[in-house]
Each structure stands twice: as C-alpha cells, then as structure tokens.
Structure 1
Amino acid sequence: MLPSKSFLLALGFGASLAAHAQKSDYPIQAVPFTQVKLTDNFWLPRLKTNTDVTIPASFQRCESTNRVKNFEMAAAHQGKFATTFPFDDTDIYKTIEGASYSLSVYPDAKLDAYVDELIKKVGAAQEPDGYLYTARTIDPAHPHSWAGPTRWSKERELSHELYNAGHLYEAAVAHYEATGKKTLLNIALKNADLVCSVFGPGKLSVAPGHEIVEMGLVKLYRVTGQPKYLETAKFFLYARGQYKGYDPKSTDGWKNGQYWQDDKPVVDQRVAEGHAVRAEYLYSAMADVAALTGDKQLLAAVDSIWQNMVSKKLYVTGGTGAVPAGEAFGKNYELPNTTAYNETCASVADVYWQQRMFQLHGDSKYVDVMEKVLYNGLLSGLGLDGKSFFYSNAMQIKNIQGYHDTEPARAGWFECSCCPTNLARLMPALPGYVYAERGKALYANLFVSGTTNLTVNKQKVQLTQENNYPWQGDLKFKVNPAKAGADFDLLVRIPGWARNEAVPSSLYTFEQPSSQQATIKVNGQPVTYQLQNGYAILSRKWHKGDVVDVNLPMEVRRVHANPLVKDDLGKVALQRGPVMYCAEWADNNGKTSNILVPQNASFSAGYQAGLLNGVETLTATVPVVTLGAEGTSVSTTPRTLVAIPYYAWANRGKGEMTVWFPEKLTDLDLLSQPAASGATASK
C-alpha cells in the first residue's frame, strides 16, 4: 500500500529533516556506561551474575533450543525452521547486545571469540541483498506460517521481520561501540539499507507489527550520520493509523488496531494502549524522533501518553501491562492483582522510555518512575540465581485448589523467551542511567556506588558515590575536579518518595505525610538547597576533596491506591525507600492471603544478611484470620508479619504471596475446597 500525498506532506521528509536532524538532539545527554565504574553492593553483584551466569546460560539455551541452528540452516538454504516463533532470531541478537556491553566492563577473550563466531553465522545467513530472517530464508517456498508467502506481506500482523531487524541494529551498535569491530554493524547496515530501499515515500508503507525497528534505525543514524535511517524511523512512526482494514467499531484490540497502536495516527494518540512492550518501544522511538527532528506533534503525543500511563495504568511496583489477553494495557484504573500480567519485557521497555523522557524534559519524575521499575517490577523478573525468570509478574498468588495464577513460579527458559534475553542486555548497561549532563549541570539520577570521570562545563571532574542504597538513605558524593574552582552545578535527585510523593500522579499516595525531609551537607556544613524539578541544585566552584552528604528519610510508608482502582479498595501496600514489599509464604506460616494490616500496625526494619542474598525486611505484629478446630468458627490471631522486597519473592519455592493487604476484615469468602485451609479476607 502506497502512502497518500497528504500522508507524505505530514511527514515532512527531505532535506529539511536531514538538516534539522544534524543540529537537534536530546537537550540532556546520559554519561556513557563505560565511564561509570561501579563498586556498589546492590547492583555490582547482579551485573557480575549477569556476566558469569545469565549471558552464558542464554547463549547455551540459544544453542540447545536450535536458535543458532536456524542461522546455520539459513546459510545452507536447507532444513526446516527448528523453533516455534519467527522472532526467535532476536534472542541471539539480544544476548549479543548484552555480551557486548559486558565485554566493555569485563573483558573476556573466550566470550569475545564466541561472539565473533556467532556473528559469522549470522552473516552467513544473510541473503545477498541484505534480507535476514531465518524463518523464510531456510526454505523460501515454505516459510513460517506467520510470515506470509512474500517478504513483508504479514509485517503488520505477525511476521516480525522488522522486529528482528530492530534488535539486530541494537545489537550491532552495542557490539561496535564495545569492541570497535564492524562485523555485525556491516550486517546490520546492509539490512537497514534494504529496509530503507523498500519502505518510504512512494514505496511500501506499513506500521511495523512489533515496534523496535524505529529505535534501532535511530541508533544506526547516530553511528553513521546517514539521514535515511532517521527518515525511515520517522516514516514508520507516521505509518500508524493509516491502515483501512481495521474495524473502528470493534472493541477487540486485534480488530480495531489498538493491539498494535495502529488505530490512530501516531500524533493523535493520547493514551497507553495495546500490547505493552510494543507500545513502550513505540513511545521510546517517538521520544527519539521528537528529539532529533524537533517534531512538536510527536512530543505532545508522547507527553500525553506518559501522563495517562503514570496516572491510570501503572502498578505500584512499576509494572505495566495489566491484561494477560494481548499482554496489554487495560482500561484506565484496571490494575488487578492475581491476574496482573506485568511482562518483564515491558519493564525493560519502560526503562528505555523513562530515560528518554528525562533526557527530553530534565524532570526527576521520569527517573522516579524508572527507579520504581528498576528496583521492583523489573528486578522481580530475574531470579537470584541469574538463570530463572518470570515472564509475567503477579501482585498476588493464592494457594487455593483450582485457582489459576498468572505465573506462580520462575522458569529457566520459555518457548517465547524474550524476557530472559531482554534482561541480559539491560543489566550491563545500567551504569549508563546513573548520571547525565546538560551544559554546566551534572545530574545524579541513580544512587549507585562507583566512580565516574567526565567533563562537565568543559572541566574534567571525578565524581565518586558511596552509599548502601537502597537499604540506607545516607548518600555521599566526593567531588574531585582536575583544577580547583571548577564551576558547575551538581543536581542531586530528591526522590518523590522522599518528598511525600508515592508516584508523580494521584494513582498512589502515602497514607500519612512525613515530617522528615531530605537534608544536605557540603563539607560537613548544612546547606539550604533550591529544589527544581525534583533536583537539589548545588551551585558552587568545586575543589578537590569536596564532599556532599545527602540524607534521605528511610521510613516505612503505607501506600494507598486511587479509589478508582477497585482491586485495591481498603488495602495497603508497604514501601521503604524505593523498594516495594510483599509477604511471602516462606516467612508467614505458609500463607499470606489471611493477613490484615490495620492502621495501627507498627513496622520495624532490619537487615538480614543471610536472607535472599541480603535484604532489609519489615516486621510487625498484625492480626491473621484463622479457622477454629472444627472449621465452624473464624477468629483473628496476632502474629508477626514478615515482609520482604517484592523483587526477591519466588526464590524459595512456590506458595502464596501478596503485595496489597486488607486493612480490616469486611467480608468472608467461604470456600469448600480442601486446600483452602482458612477463610480469605476480601473486599
């Protein structure tokens, strides 16, 4: 389908885009992860586990599940596609991306050589014109059933040809930047040149069924400076809402285009809708293209979508995508607990999106959401062993006979294994989210111990963080400029949770405001700081040995949901610092669905070094609903509630878990199943 003339005019392609793109970009630039050396007690062990366990396990599983074999057969043009989904190629690309980031931090000759051999297999599978899609190339006469008889013919619906390409581009840029080698980059550029020759004004037009090619093309543009990659990324964005084959009256997201974010032109979209992972990749690309082209319509759209998501469709753990059917955002305030989907990939995509929104606007609220995702909704997707995963992340698990939970236990791999490989690529890049710069401003966004050497306001500076975050709120920043009197502003994020803001909207609120405030000392002297967009601005001429001490209040906070979130009415969640808590069966007499947390419950926090690789737990004496000996009476008994960080659940076997606790007993469900050993508190 060729685009209409009005469609082309709306895009504004041509010389003006190329010229404008060269001088436009995000006003705030992240400090590259290679410049941030971690010493952190919380994140560094996880990054090391990713290097030592997650990435090798991912490569091994790509081998054992025949994902690598698909490339070998494509090179030989014989055999039968050996896995289930046509997007299985991306698991190799994503793991190469993670391995590349890891090689930047932990040089490993053996891993480097293995990646080189794998890239050779990828290159051998590429067709002469650049096409790379093993699900068709192995046997073009009998391609995967999702792929359609000809190239791109089912791209909108199922084929994932451009999705595969997008992950290839992301991996190629990571490998090139990490190693300086162009082997994978050349493969990616050859494919991208084909894509740019096929799609565009006067050529084929389609809204990619699963977004990410747009983000990948932007990365190729940044590496090469070739405008065609940015132009094609923008073309794909504006292809949305142009397809006439949908039924706008249908409430089925597959039939009305919402599942693919294809029901409206991209600049007219105002709410987070459809498949959450696809959506957040789209919103990330919208931010990219808006930044690089100055497209104010795109910016207005993505701003509105962000506001809708944060105020109506975000879980208290930062998870997104409430509905299992379609792995999708639900309706406004549709945030169920036992059936919460919260795909791990959606949390990965959300981190990318929040970082871009911060780089556009410089407001800490985007980093607040990103921090919530990182410490809760994303980290819960990865087991402490580094090789077990959640695809979905529930908010409550009930151990009732016949009851179906979304996903009550972790798995080592999935038939559709997008989440494990997505984690493998995100984790080693985490240091790149700690700091950012704009002119004379240096932003300290995440509180992760380590050292960075950078140039701010044309002055070389070494900045060192020392803390025991997220368990303690004492943060230390040591500033060592190369020359005395370095003039720049250090902007330290004061998290929303330390400013009586549970999230940057009315979706969740703290039950009681705290009188405690963040305090700051410079060289031991208390300072009164200006707070702007959530940042404490410390403007001075810095000298070697200057020390900034920040103290964030680490109280146990009770969180309530907006009353429009029906599943959480009369319930409370627990938060300390950036960490959300849950109760798990292993600490609470095998059951959590009978626990009440009344308003007068008093919690204490304590660090347990031997529990779950070291966690801060919360304890309180609370009433627990119990049955009499004959099962004919109900009472409450005081017991000790032990709450652990949400991210750490499901590492000790399968059993009950809950994030939201009823504050009082208002009703009883009388259950006849033998496995239901007690009445459950509800409503």
Structure 2
Amino acid sequence: MKKVFPALAVAGLLTSPSVAQSVKRSDYPIQAVAFTKVKLADNFWLPRLKTNTDVTIPASFQRCEATNRVKNFEMAAAKSGKFATTFPFDDTDIYKTIEGASYSLSLYPDQKLESYIDELITKVGKAQEPDGYLYTARTIDPAHPHAWAGNTRWEKERELSHELYNSGHLYESAVAHYEATGKKNLLNIALKNADLVCATFGPGKRAVAPGHEIVEMGLVKLYRVTGKPEYLSTAKFFIEQRGQYKGYDPKSSDAWRNGSYWQDHKSVYDQKEAVGHAVRAEYLYSAMADVAALTGDQKMLASVDSIWNNMVTKKLYVTGGTGAVPGGERFGGNYELPNGTAYNETCASVANVYWNQRMFLLHGDSKYVDVMEKVLYNGLISGVGLDGKSFFYSNAMQIKNSAVFGQSEPERAGWFECSCCPTNLARLFPSLPGYVYAQKANDVYVNLFINGTTDLNVNKQAVRITQQNNYPWNGDLKFTVAPKSSADFNLLVRLPGWARNEAVPSNLYTFAAPSPEQVSIKVNGKAQPYTMRNGYAVLARKWKKNDVVEVALPMETRKVVANPNVRDDVGKVALQRGPVVYCAEWKDNDGRTSNIVVPAATRFTASYKPDVLNGITELTATVPVVKVDAANNSISTVQQTLTAIPYYAWANRGKGEMTVWFPERITDVDLITRKVEEKIVAK
C-alpha cells in the first residue's frame, strides 16, 4: 500500500506537509500524536478494534449493499430509477464506513478491502454531477427529488435536506482514505464538491446555517490537507450564520419553533448552553473549537468553553451519555437527566469524544480527557454488542419489567432504518490509537492508558514510549521511556479525576465518600516527587534509555451520588471502579434489578471473570432486595447477592431488567394492581 506521507490524523484532526508552510497561522497549541504512530498491544481495546475490522466494517458494507444504499449511487450515475432508501442522508453510511475502513487499513493492511473501497469510490464518482454536486436523493430523478430535499438545490438545507451534512461526511471520509492509502480518487471527488459549496455559499452569496452540522468539520480537514483558505473561511461562515434566520419564534418553548433544535436560535457568540439535537450540537461545538484554534477567534473560544461547562455541570449522564430527551434526540433542560426515558444516542457519544479531544488540544487540561475517557469506556462502547454486529441507537439507564411497568425491553439490532450509529462506531474505533498521546514543544502528554508503543520526536530526538498495563481492570501502569540518547523533556501522565476523588470535573456527580488512597509514582523503582499541572503529574528529567515509570492508581469500588437537582437520582447511588461505571442486569440477579437496594455501608468485592462477557471485572455484595409474596399479599426484604457488570456489557445475553442507579434505602412502595398490569400489557 503506497503512502505519500505519514498520516498525522487523529480524532478528526489532520496536518499535512501538503499545507503551504509559508503561511503562518494559528492552530491548536497541543498536537495529537498520529494514530499511525501508535501501535496497540492492548487486551481491552485491541480485540475491539480487530472485531471492528473483521466484523463491524464488513457487516456495514454488506448492509449498505443489501439495503440499496449502494444502489442509490448506481442509479444516480445512470440518472434513472427511484431513490431506494428512506432518508436523504443514507449516502453517509457509505462514506462513514469507507472512513472507518480506511483507518483500519493503516492498522490491518488488506488488499481485498482496499480494492472493494476503490470500487465503491468509482460508483460515488460516477454519481457526482459535472459541477461537483453529489446527492443521490436528487440526482437520481431531479424532477422528483426526495420529499425532504426541496425542488431546487439547498432549498431545504436549513431544516431537512442534509445536503451539506452528506458533504461533510464525504470530506471526512476522503481525508481518512487519502491519509491511509495515499490515493486521491475519493479526495478529488470531495474537493470538487467542496469547491462547489464554497462557490455557492459565503459573503455576498447564498447563506444558510446547515441543518445538521458536520460540513464545518469536514471543510476544516480539507483545509488542513490543501491549505486552501476558502475551506476554512466557509466553515467559519457556516458557523456564523447561526442565529440570523428570522423565521423562528423566539418566544416559543418548542425547540423546532424557536430554532434551538438546530442550535440556530442565537449567534454562536451568544450561545452559552448545550441545546437541541445532541449530535448536531456536538458536531457544531467541535467545529467551533477547530475554527477558534485555526483563526485565533477568542470570542468563539469563550463561547465553546461556556457551552462545555454547561454540558459537564448540568447535562451529562454518569456514563458520559448526552442527549436526554427522546423527542428530538436532544439535550433537555439543566439537570434534566431521567433514567427511565434516557435517550443517549450512540452518535452523540461519538461526537462527544471528538469535542473533548479538541477541548484538550486547546487547553491542555486533563478534565477534557477525563470526560472523554468516561464516554469511551461506558456510554460509547455500550452502543455496540460484543459480537461487533449488533447495536443500540439509544442507550438506556434503566429498564424495568415490561409486564409490570409497560416499558419495552430493548434488544440490540443489526441495523436501523436510520443507521448513523453503527457506521459512526465503525469509523471511530480504528482511530482510537490517535487519542493516547499528544505533544507540545518539550511536553509529552499521556492521556489514555492503552498498551502499546509509540515513536515520537521530541526536540528532534527520537523517543519510544511503551505502555504495559491491565487497564481498566487494574490501576498499575508501567511506561518504558527509551530515547535514542539521553534527552530532557517533560512526561505528563494524566492522573484521572476518579483517582483524585473527583467523579467528574464538576459537582454534577461526586463520590459518596472520599478515599484515603493516593496515587504513587516511581521512576526506576524509586519514589518520584512530581508537580501537578492541570491534572497531569509532570515528570521532568533527563530521560535515559529504558527508564521505567510506574504509576499506581487506586482501583477501588466507589459509590457515586448525583447533584440533588437531578431528581431521578435523589437517594440513589451508582457504582464505579476505575473509569468503568457498573450496572445490574437481570441475568445475574434472579431476573430483577428494580427491587435492589444498596445501603450506604455496602462493601463490594471485585473479581475478574475471564469467561463472562469476553472478560470483565465483576462486582458482588450482599444487599437487601424487595420480594413480593402474592399468595400472602405481602412485601418483605431478603438478603441476596448483587452482581454488577460493566455498563457497556449489558444486553448481550437477552432482554430483561437493568439499572445503573440503586436506592440506598426503601422510602416508599408503589402499588400496581393486576388490573392495571393487564391494561398496560394490552396497550
């Protein structure tokens, strides 16, 4: 596989020698270490990346074929037929899967996969109109476009068409493919489309706030590859169009009527709160971070900082999930974090990872990586089954018995009519190595604890860092630092908030009791004093070949309590060990979880179970559970073993009850009669 230059892409951020170096410009003060420079050997993540390569990506391509997503491109090329899927954004499932497959090619070269991708790219290219327009929902039959598309191009871009959304995913896919293979076949298609977009939109031309953000992020990536200033200026133009549309009713509380569903209710410079459709919002906030970094726009930076603070202090689930409200897949009000109706779209977790990585690169503060880690180990990977081919679109926080409570018990699905989540996961997983390390001048940041090696250049000196650990099950971390020759630099090891008595970087969640356990750090077997900077232990020394750093993180089972403003969690606790949040599932708990009580004095035992759910650390304790004796018309509590599993692993063994939050004591009992039960079941 030919490579034009080493890929420097990570988390959607890319720099390239093809960018004109003579132009001095602003950028992220910290640069992520490219995913191609980090080779994983990790027991937790590497099997997931391999499953993504061997199962998720092939299944995604197969389903794109079987559901006529590929056929749409073939018909667009022929300008004949009828759009064969449901949504005008179905084109993006192919783009996102190509993106994931391209990242995967850098990890696992595969000539057969590469050839198949080239065949798909040929079909995409043939579907593109001569001026660069690419949107199968219109091109197949321009006289009868998709109902969401409008009669003319871009007519319904603000609300429904997703024309620019499709373009954004095309751009991201093209950059990933170019970086992985050195080929320009998809990149040239993307650049032709981007040139049309830039010629159509901008000052003195057409104006719109894109209805579903991501074109802004994609244009930034193309700017990094080409250095073409129009791509960056158009991305900024789209961001700055928000709040200018006069057709909304600002007095309405309805998110669609007042524009907040699209983050279009006010200028981004005046937005201080995470609102509206969570995926759209977090793509916007990621783009705002990009543009603020690349243009030095301090006012935009201040806005995205405020929005992040609102999200992490008032709108984040304990699993890292975002977007509480099913209606509109959107953020709710402050502290609106219900469990029974939690939405938590998987795509929102993907977007949250992108956003927090960018916030770290802007500020160098570990709190952003703490949130990102929470998402990665909990709310993100819960979205894909252990088989790699079954998915959750939304990620529940509590499931009660359907016969009693009238709540359907969800099960993972192989595909969805709107299948944005499976393809989003397919593209995120293989880019994970690029989130592990970052650099700024003399500082090398260790952000994630994932086994493997990386080769860096620090002050023009070659340095290899090797990680060895059994994270997230064990807190003993080992780093071998091997410069080619002795070298002075700072190794900044993130000390996670959870290891410093901080459940999240806000008062939204706190640990029920402080831990006396302390982090310890040794270098070459000797205790190492260190200073702290923004959540990082700064190890400043002249490093010699094969210096060994050992970090011991206290791996206790902690009880988490929510801010009292989160009404659903009052009087309840969640369980966390290391970065992993736990839940109880029906399978391990006598068929029920909604009857479990976890008193304050409960102590848990942690045991690694290699044969359970592909290997997990399981938590057990003896607790009271509520039992109903229907024959004697009585209720009692009995002692029973509570078994808790990592939240990400639930719903891999069938349907049934699940809960993340446990009451500490019994304060009331809801009586539901059999007659009511029958009415509920009959609905």
Structure 1: which amino acid aligns with 2:613? L
1:213 to partner: Cα distance: 0.1
Cα pair 1:261 1:274 within 8 Å, conserved: yes
Equivalent positions of 1:13-28 (< 5 A) are 22-28=24-30
> CA separation in 1, counterparts of 2:452 and 2:408?
38
1:233 is aligned to 235
1:317 is aligned to 319
Matched, 1:390 2:392: yes
Cα pair 1:351 1:374 within 8 Å, conserved: yes
Cα pair 1:400 1:673 within 8 Å, conserved: no
> CA separation in 2, counterparts of 1:391 and 1:406?
15
Cα pair 1:246 1:257 within 8 Å, conserved: yes
Question: Structure 2 residue aligned with 1:367, among 354, 366, 369?
Answer: 369
1:576 is aligned to 577
Structure 2: which amino acid aligns with 1:235? F
Q: Deviations over 1:626-674 (max 9, x none)?
A: 0125151111000000000000000000000000000000001111248
Matched, 1:651 2:652: yes
Structure 1: which amino acid aligns with 2:498? W
Cα pair 1:615 1:644 within 8 Å, conserved: yes
1:9 is aligned to none
Cα pair 2:171 2:222 within 8 Å, conserved: yes
- Shift in alpha-carbon separation, 1:360–1:405, aligned structure 2, 3 A: farther
1:632 is aligned to 633
Structure 1: which amino acid aligns with 2:154? W
1:675 to partner: Cα distance: 10
Cα pair 1:339 1:406 within 8 Å, conserved: no
1:581 to partner: Cα distance: 0.1
1:178 is aligned to 180
1:264 is aligned to 266
> CA separation in 2, counterparts of 1:546 and 1:599?
43
> CA separation in 1, counterparts of 2:408 and 2:500?
34
> CA separation in 2, counterparts of 1:203 and 1:406?
50
> CA separation in 1, counterparts of 2:491 and 2:632?
63
Matched, 1:214 2:216: yes
Q: Deviations over 1:422-448 (max 9, x none)?
A: 000000000000000000000000000
> CA separation in 2, counterparts of 1:672 and 1:342?
32
Q: Deviations over 1:97-152 (max 9, x none)?
A: 00000001100000000000000000000000000000000000000000000000
**3-state SS of 1:669 partner:** coil
Matched, 1:535 2:536: yes
1:416 to partner: Cα distance: 0.2
> CA separation in 1, counterparts of 2:440 and 2:371?
21
- Shift in alpha-carbon separation, 1:111–1:405, aligned structure 2, 3 A: farther
1:162 is aligned to 164
> CA separation in 1, counterparts of 2:405 and 2:177?
45
**3-state SS of 1:303 partner:** helix
Cα pair 1:392 1:407 within 8 Å, conserved: no
2:568 is aligned to 567
Structure 2: which amino acid aligns with 1:243? Y
Mind listing any 5+ residue stretches in structure 2 that lack a counterpart? 1-19, 679-683
1:48 is aligned to 50
1:488 is aligned to 489
> CA separation in 1, counterparts of 2:519 and 2:676?
48
1:365 to partner: Cα distance: 0.0
> CA separation in 2, counterparts of 1:528 and 1:581?
34
> CA separation in 2, counterparts of 1:173 and 1:243?
32
> CA separation in 2, counterparts of 1:204 and 1:402?
55
1:22 to partner: Cα distance: 3.9
> CA separation in 1, counterparts of 2:468 and 2:198?
47
Q: Deviations over 1:293-316 (max 9, x none)?
A: 000110000000000000000000
> CA separation in 2, counterparts of 1:406 and 1:113?
43
1:308 is aligned to 310
Cα pair 1:440 1:457 within 8 Å, conserved: yes
**TM-score with structure 1 setting the length:** 0.95
2:8 is aligned to none
- Shift in alpha-carbon separation, 1:69–1:404, aligned structure 2, 3 A: farther
Q: Deviations over 1:167-207 (max 9, x none)?
A: 00000000000000000000000000000000000000000
1:29 is aligned to 31
Matched, 1:77 2:79: yes
- Shift in alpha-carbon separation, 1:19–1:480, aligned structure 2, 3 A: closer
2:292 is aligned to 290
**3-state SS of 1:492 partner:** strand
Structure 2: which amino acid aligns with 1:540? R
Question: Structure 2 residue aligned with 1:58, among 51, 60, 76?
Answer: 60
Cα pair 2:409 2:655 within 8 Å, conserved: no
- Shift in alpha-carbon separation, 1:187–1:402, aligned structure 2, 3 A: farther
1:402 to partner: Cα distance: 6.7
Structure 1: which amino acid aligns with 2:27? D
2:335 is aligned to 333
> CA separation in 1, counterparts of 2:101 and 2:414?
19
Cα pair 2:405 2:677 within 8 Å, conserved: no
Percent identity reads: 76
2:138 is aligned to 136
1:198 is aligned to 200
Cα pair 1:401 1:674 within 8 Å, conserved: no
- Shift in alpha-carbon separation, 1:75–1:508, aligned structure 2, 3 A: same
**3-state SS of 2:457 partner:** strand
1:610 is aligned to 611
**453-462 or 295-304: bigger deviation:** 453-462
Structure 2: which amino acid aligns with 1:287? A
**TM-score with structure 2 setting the length:** 0.95
Cα pair 1:320 1:346 within 8 Å, conserved: yes
Q: Deviations over 1:3-58 (max 9, x none)?
A: xxxxxxxxxxxxxxx99984210000000000000000000000000000000000
1:526 is aligned to 527
Cα pair 2:404 2:672 within 8 Å, conserved: no
> CA separation in 2, counterparts of 1:428 and 1:408?
27
> CA separation in 1, counterparts of 2:568 and 2:637?
23
Cα pair 1:340 1:406 within 8 Å, conserved: no
Q: Deviations over 1:335-392 (max 9, x none)?
A: 0001100000000000000000000000000000000000000010010000000000
Cα pair 1:379 1:647 within 8 Å, conserved: yes
Mind listing any 5+ residue stretches in structure 1 that lack a counterpart? 1-17, 678-683
- Shift in alpha-carbon separation, 1:372–1:406, aligned structure 2, 3 A: farther
- Shift in alpha-carbon separation, 1:407–1:59, aligned structure 2, 3 A: farther
1:3 is aligned to none
2:426 is aligned to 424
Q: Deviations over 1:231-256 (max 9, x none)?
A: 00000000000000000011111110
1:613 to partner: Cα distance: 0.1
Number of equivalences: 659
- Shift in alpha-carbon separation, 1:462–1:674, aligned structure 2, 3 A: farther
- Shift in alpha-carbon separation, 1:676–1:364, aligned structure 2, 3 A: farther
> CA separation in 1, counterparts of 2:361 and 2:560?
29
Cα pair 2:402 2:408 within 8 Å, conserved: no
Structure 1: which amino acid aligns with 2:560? V
- Shift in alpha-carbon separation, 1:673–1:284, aligned structure 2, 3 A: farther
**3-state SS of 2:608 partner:** strand
> CA separation in 1, counterparts of 2:369 and 2:254?
34
2:643 is aligned to 642
> CA separation in 2, counterparts of 1:212 and 1:95?
16
Cα RMSD after superposing both structures: 1.4
Aligned structure 1 segments of 4 or more residues deviating by more than 6 angstroms: 18-21, 674-677
1:458 to partner: Cα distance: 1.9
> CA separation in 1, counterparts of 2:53 and 2:464?
26
1:600 is aligned to 601
